[in-house]
Structure formats: C-alpha cells, structure tokens
Amino acid sequence: MKPVLPHAQLDWDDQGRPYSRVFDDVYFSDKSGLDETRYVFIEQNRLAERFAALPEGGRLVIGETGFGTGLNFLCAWQVFEQHAAPGARLHFVSVEKYPLSHDDLQRALALWPELKVFADQLLAQYVAIHQGFQRLVLDNGRVTLTLLIGDALEQLPQLDAQIDAWFLDGFAPAKNPDMWTAELFAELARLAAPDSTISTFTSTGWVRRLLNAAGFKMKRTPGIGHKWEILRGAYLGWPETVPAPAIPKPWFARPAPVAGERRALVIGAGLAGCASAASLAARGWQVTLLERHDALAQEASGNPQGVLYLKLSAHGTALSQLIVSGFGHTRRLLEHLHRGVDWDGCGVLQLAFNAKEAERQAQLASAFPEHLLQLLDREQAQNRAGIDLQSGGLFYPEGGWVHPPALCQWQAQHPGTQLLTHHDVLDLRRSNGQWQAWADDRLLAEAPVVVLAGAAEIKRFPFSRELPLKRIRGQITRLPETAASRSLSTVVCAEGYVAPARLGEHTLGASFDFKSDDLTPTAAEHLGNLKMLEEISPDLVARIGADTLQPEALEGRAAFRCTSPDYLPIVGPLADEEGFMQAYGALSKDARRIPDVPCPWLEGLYVNSGHGSRGLITAPLSGELLAAWLDDEPLPLPRAVAEACHPNRFALRRLIRGKA
C-alpha cells in the first residue's frame, strides 16, 4: 500500500496546456486562462478595489478550492502588487488534493510570461510540499500562501481562518461531483468572514442552490469565453435552520487582538525567539529581541550542525502532522541561505538498526509518499551514504543538516527587529498596558506584547512558572574531516547522528543527560558519542580515524534541550493560572460541562518554547503560529495541532485528569 496523494497526473496539449488525467478536464480555459481567471475570480470579488482600500498593516485573506497550477494565486498576487499599499499583506489559502510536481508547475507557469516575476518566487519556494498544511512565505512576508494538501473535505474542516474572498475552482461540477457538495459549501460558509464574497466559473443550477442554502447569496452574471454565465455572491450569514458550527472551547479561543501599537519584546534569541521575531517583523511589528549573551544562538541553537530529522508516526498524530508541516516550512526558509555553509540538503538516512526500528520504518514507508521518505536496502543505503553500513534504512531525500546560528541570524535580520545582546531579563512586570523587562532595578525595554522564547528559563517568570518544561543536557562532538571521510554524502542516524563535514568538521551527536546541570563538555560523553558512531558505521569510524582519537582531546559543546511532557512545543497565548483554575474548576467534576466563561488571558503575553530535540523543524513554524494567534490570522496548522501545542493544555489536563 502506498496511499498518500500522488502528484497530479497531467497530459499536455499541442499548445503546451495541462490537462488532468484523473478528472478528464482542463486546468484553465483553452481560450485565455488568464482573462478567465481575472474576470471570474479577481473582478467578481472586486479585488483591485478591496486591495486598494487596505490600510497600512491591513490584509485580505483569499481562500480557494483547487490550487492546481497556481494561476489564480499569481493573478491575485499581481493585482495585489498593483493596488495595495506597501504595508498591506495578502494571505492566500488554497486546498489541493493532487499537487503538481515542481517540473509540471514550472512547465505550466511558463505559459504566462507576464506573471514570471511572481511565478519565479513561487517556484523557488515550491519545495517539500507534503500532505497537510504547508506554509510558504513570499515577498519577504508580504504575501503568505498556505497550501492545504489533501482532499478539500478533509482539510478545510481543520482550517481556522476567516476568509474574505472565496475562489470556488476545482474542475467542472460534472467532472468532479465529489467536491461540489453541500458539505463543502458549509465549510466555505463556516470559514467566511462577515463580508465575504465568492465567485465560481460555473453557473450550474444545483451549485447555485446549494451555495444559497449554505448562506451565500448567489447571482448569475454574464460569463466569458465559452462560459455563457458564471456565479458570484456574498456571504449573508449562517442559515438559522442549520445547527451552528462548533466553536473552539473558551481556553483555546482566540484572545482579543492587541489594539494600538504593534510592538513586541521577544525574550531569548535562539531558534524560537528569532523565528518569533521574524514572523512578527514580517507583519509590520516592531520587535525588540532581548538576549542575555553577547550574540544570538549561543545555547541549544548554537551547535555547528543540527539535523532536519523527521521522527514521524504512521498514525497521523498531532506531533507527526506538526513535523511534516514544520519540516516543509524550515526547508523552504533554508532556500534563502547559503548551501554548503549554512545548510545542506544532502538527505538524511535513518538506519534500521534493530528489528523494531525496521518494522517502524516499514509502516512509515507505507504511510508516506516516496518524495518524502524511501526504504533503502543495505546496498542502496551504502550508495547513498558513500560509506559501508550494517543495515538499510529510511531515506529522507529532502532532509539534511543546518548550521542553526545561520538560520537564527537570517531570521533576526529584518529591519523591524532590534537585537539587544547582554540583556538578561530577570523580571517581567505589567504596567499601564505594557510588559516591562527588568534587570534588577533597570528597565530594559517595554512593549504591549511579550513573547517568552527563553527555552526552560521562562520558568523564572511567575506567569510561566507552572509550564512543565524540563532541561535535558546534550553534548555534540566535533570530528575533523579526513580524506577518507569526505565520501560521507548524507546525514546518517541511528541512536545518534553524524553529518557530512561543514567547514572541515563533522558533527557527531548527541548525548542525553537528564540529571547534569553542568555545561562543561565531558570526555565520558564524547566517548558515548563515539560509541554511537560505531553503531552507525564502523567503516566511518575507520575513515575518520575516530578509534585513534583520545576522548579527552576531543572538542565539542553542550547545551540544554527543553522538552514538554508530551514532546510537543508550547506555543500561544498564556492565561492567568489562578484565574484559569477558578474559571474552569467545574471541569474537575464534570469534564463535559464547559463553563461559559471567557479565558482569563494575560493580555499580550505569549510563549514559544519546548522544542525538545527538533527545534529546527518546529521552531520556525511556531513563529508563524504565534504571529497568527497575535494577528488574528489563518493558523498555519490544523486547529487540533495548534490546540495540541497550546499553553493551556497543561492546566486543562491538571483539571480534568488531576495531572499535567
């Protein structure tokens, strides 16, 4: 079984236009796809006018069924560029069951030279597009594309967004009746913002009637090309006759958006803090990034090489979904950095080092498509890795290693972010609607919003003291490259990991020590790392000459990982602990009776922490999640995954189960 979402299967006509084999239909009209898109979707939703009316810092959210070749998206982006003020933003959410391969997308978009400037940016970021939510940050964050890869009827119910304009595309209703259903239209209505508009190229009577029944007021309007009539409409409101859609529980509801100044303090300049700063600054926030060391990325995020290591589950858990979405997002950000020094997409090979691991890998191979992961036998694995191995394994062709400080640096470089080093925040106070960062009697900085991104150190503040974060010491070993070890051509992992050399050194990682508080590297842990290298490949041990190295003479560094009990990061708004217990105390007696009490949010206080052993994959997307909570934007993850990462989950569990 190889179930998941193949790429679109296309044929190309004699004029180079794509045609879907599965749906037996065209992606765009054979007359002029561009004119049709502009007329049907852009004009009927009055986008030029609405973009022009956006204030500085304003945004419009477009939703689409059927991303296809991205033509509608690129047209919308072009019109946005022509009409919107410099500080405005476009957010485009599109669902796609059969994403085009990169080559096919490139070929299809080559048909529209006038969109080339936009198409090139899309193509540069169209990598690691896998199932679920995939966020693409374009034009320095001015344009955000959230692709929901999967069936519209599975994906849209997971979306938390308010859509201002709907593009109802997705092949002709007669060719694709499974999609054009009352169920889908109810989702469009659930997600519609109060003044939402909608348009579609079809005028089919039952489509119009079902949309009307869902709460849209649809009108027939003259068509274009060989479409006699099309439909456009506006959302009037949820029909009274239909039961209202479920709303989030009050403890997971969105806090009221911060009114007034868009200024934030971010405390901690590791991956989590730099990602938070980047996502906020891209949205026009003024960010002050406070770091106690003399530079960013000096603690867990300071290793010379970290691995884009995907520990997935075949059962689609929240963590596994977060990993697939986070991996895609980080992987796309890396396209902006220097390959070879800042990162390398050399692939990651996870060895099947015992029978249990081999079984787990076989399950994963049947649950995920080949462009994400592939099972390799021993010989194939050796060819990939360039060294002798004792087993085959699972190969992630788009994985690789990253120099985390380079990613931090890139994320913190936005002109809207000011990095203040040597700023150790000892105390946090709320005064006159501002959060104040203090060091003894010195006020370091203040702003209406503060993001706690100091890993486990955030427990020093009373507001976040109860969050169940633990520190786990880890040490990496730096091994000089040799002529023989240069053949290593991919990251190889078993219990530990080793990467192809960066600037003449391999990183070998990493130990786990749950007890030690001391960050001085130890020979014992270098020895432990060397044992893990032996498990990975005795051949590589020999190539590096690691068996001749004295552990006492080895170089490395140690830092603390910061983990939560469920291994998910902690990202989102914080509530007042005591107020929470009072507001929802009744849950401890009956978990099904939800008190109708708003959550006692600590206004403007947010957290981004608990990234454990996989911050490279989770922290950058968590920056986007945090900004989405703060700016009342479409969430970059399914609602259930965002809730699984929510800081309130622990207090809730304590109430319901009597434990965190």
Ligand X SMILES: Cc1cc2nc3c(=O)[nH]c(=O)nc-3n(C[C@H](O)[C@H](O)[C@H](O)COP(=O)(O)OP(=O)(O)OC[C@H]3O[C@@H](n4cnc5c(N)ncnc54)[C@H](O)[C@@H]3O)c2cc1C
Residues that bind ligand SAM (CB under 6 A): 8, 27-28, 66-72, 95-98, 151-152, 169-171, 176, 179
Shortest gap between Cβ of 223 and ligand X (angstroms)?
51
Decide which of ligand SAM, ligand X, none touches 378; Cβ closer than 5 to 8 Å per partner kind. none
Order across the sheet with 263-267: list the strands.
417-420, 286-290, 263-267, 449-452, 601-609, 570-575
Taking the CA of residue 346 as centre, how many other CA atoms within 13 Å lie in the half-sphere pointing to its CB? Answer: 26
| Binding interface with ligand X (CB under 6 A) | 267-273, 290-293, 298-301, 303, 306-307, 309, 423-425, 453-455, 457, 474-476, 509-510, 559, 561-562, 609, 611-617, 619
Order across the sheet with 89-96: list the strands.
132-138, 143-149, 89-96, 59-65, 163-168, 192-200, 229-235, 216-222
Rank residues 170 and 268 by Cβ distance to ligand SAM and give the closer one: 170
Shortest gap between Cβ of 510 and ligand X (angstroms)?
4
Decide which of ligand X, ligand SAM, none touches 269; Cβ closer than 5 to 8 Å per partner kind. ligand X
Decide which of ligand SAM, ligand X, none touches 122; Cβ closer than 5 to 8 Å per partner kind. none
CA–CA dist 506, 485 (Å, integer): 9
- Per DSSP, the three-state class of 164 is strand
Residue 474 is encoded by which pair of tokens? 């880890």
Rank residues 115 and 491 by Cβ distance to ligand SAM and give the closer one: 115
Could you give the angle at the alpha carbon of 422 between the alpha carbons of 420 and 426, nearest 5°?
A: 100
Decide which of ligand X, ligand SAM, none touches 444; Cβ closer than 5 to 8 Å per partner kind. none
Rank residues 69 and 321 by Cβ distance to ligand SAM and give the closer one: 69
Decide which of ligand SAM, ligand X, none touches 454; Cβ closer than 5 to 8 Å per partner kind. ligand X
Taking the CA of residue 425 as centre, how many other CA atoms within 13 Å lie in the half-sphere pointing to its CB? Answer: 30
Decide which of ligand X, ligand SAM, none touches 151; Cβ closer than 5 to 8 Å per partner kind. ligand SAM
- Name the residue with tokens 């700063």: 277
Shortest gap between Cβ of 500 and ligand X (angstroms)?
14
Rank residues 122 and 300 by Cβ distance to ligand SAM and give the closer one: 122
Shortest gap between Cβ of 69 and ligand SAM (angstroms)?
4
Rank residues 129 and 333 by Cβ distance to ligand SAM and give the closer one: 129
Integer angstrom CA distances of residue 472 from 457, 466, 518, 561: 13, 18, 11, 5
Shortest gap between Cβ of 379 and ligand X (angstroms)?
27
Could you give the angle at the alpha carbon of 277 between the alpha carbons of 276 and 282, nearest 5°?
A: 105
Decide which of ligand X, ligand SAM, none touches 171; Cβ closer than 5 to 8 Å per partner kind. ligand SAM
Rank residues 300 and 540 by Cβ distance to ligand X and give the closer one: 300
Residue 49 is encoded by which pair of tokens? 């006018």
Rank residues 150 and 347 by Cβ distance to ligand SAM and give the closer one: 150
Is residue 297 left, alpha or beta, with left meaning phi > 0 and alpha meaning psi from -120 to 50? Answer: left
Rank residues 27 and 51 by Cβ distance to ligand SAM and give the closer one: 27
Shortest gap between Cβ of 172 and ligand SAM (angstroms)?
8
Shortest gap between Cβ of 175 and ligand SAM (angstroms)?
9
Decide which of ligand X, ligand SAM, none touches 268; Cβ closer than 5 to 8 Å per partner kind. ligand X
Neighbours of 379 (CB within 10 A): 10
- Name the residue with tokens 């499974």: 178
Q: How many helices (H) and strands (E) are present in the chain, helices listed first?
A: 19, 31
Shortest gap between Cβ of 622 and ligand X (angstroms)?
9
CA–CA dist 73, 348 (Å, integer): 33
Residue 177 is encoded by which pair of tokens? 């009746």
CA–CA dist 279, 287 (Å, integer): 10
